[in-house]
Amino acid sequence: MDFWTMFLEMWYILIGFLLLATAIIAFKSNKENEEESKNYTAKYISSGFWAILAFLFIVGPYIPHEISGALVLVMGVLSFTKQVNLGPIAQISQSFKDEQSNRIGNLIFLPSVSIAIGAFVFSQILPKLYPEVSASLLGFIAIGISSLIGLITVLLVTRAPIKAVTSEGTRLMRTMGSLAILPQLLGALGAVFTAAGVGSLISVLLGGIIPDGNAFLGVVAYCVGMAIFTMIMGNAFAAFTVITVGIGIPFVFAQGANPIIASALAMTAGFCGTLMTPMGANFNILPATLLETKSEYAVIKFQAPLAMTLLVIHIFLMYFLAFNF
């Protein structure tokens, strides 16, 4: 294993240790609460889920794929019990929230901005410094370094102690519950769909609907297809390969569209679908849970009109820009 692969693997191992801490805390908290709740299995189910996920993050590359797949199925069974996020989770008092909100103000956005800017800067610099290393690998490393910068920024802005990284990280993971692994599962599902030839099947089906040479209908199908498939998958990255193979290449790129412009707009058209689906749990269901809204779909209801408007705008942007540059 080369240096950069080991460097990237280090970040996965760190995540694994955070998940392991989540498993330990889940076991202890559920154990303390079991007499009151009369639920004597929650501590094993909840901690077992996080322990398996931690194991996969830490040693996943070094064990047979069959074992990894079996462990994922076990996690699915544990999640089905709906006890993964049970147990008392320490909540932050409203007075503390108000105090910190008044003190920090808009600086609360600084860590997120630093991650975004850092990821962009490092993804541009690292490939130039190390051209012999895979650009995709360096892209992941850029995100890892930027996340570390974001973490340092959080500690500086909030003046929180180092131990808060673990305590707050585990609290967030337990609040999310089994939804935390949804992005990984959906990403894997996208790869499975691509390998199974779903994109080619979509191309064949649409071939009898979209007239030959009609670039506009091709663009409509590409953008709407990305949005719909993203709503099904919950992840535009998972949908991109399938829809690009099935619609983008034969009905848009083949008509003379600039593949760079069309691909970029297709991806963000998929993000319009992310705004409208409960499958995008991290973006739509989790915020509703944290905000304690009356409906778990409250975020989606507010985002849907804007998402539809943006999708229509994407169609015209792709049609007028991709075919003129």
| Predicted confidence (pLDDT) per residue in 62-115, tens digit | 899 899 889 988 988 888 877 776 555 666 677 777 777 788 888 888 988 999
Confidence of residue 40 (pLDDT cuts 50, 70, 90): low
Query: What is the arithmetic mean of pLDDT over 198-222?
Result: 81
Tens digits of per-residue pLDDT, 267-312?
A: 999 999 989 988 777 778 777 776 777 888 888 899 999 999 999 9
Query: What is the arithmetic mean of pLDDT over 233-240?
Result: 80
Q: How far apart are CA 152 and CA 165, in angstroms?
A: 10
pLDDT at residue number 237: 78
Q: Are 42 and 86 in contact (CB under 8 A)?
A: yes
pLDDT at residue number 39: 59
Helix (H) or strand (E) holding 219: helix 215-233
Single-letter code of the amino acid located at 10: M
Structural domain boundaries of the chain? 3-177, 197-322
Q: Are 265 and 321 in contact (CB under 8 A)?
A: yes
Half-sphere exposure of 121 (CA within 13 A, CB side): 10
Which pairs from 100-107 meet CB under 8 Å and 24+ separation?
A: 100/158, 104/157, 104/158, 107/157
Query: What is the arithmetic mean of pLDDT over 176-180?
Result: 74
Average pLDDT, the chain: 83
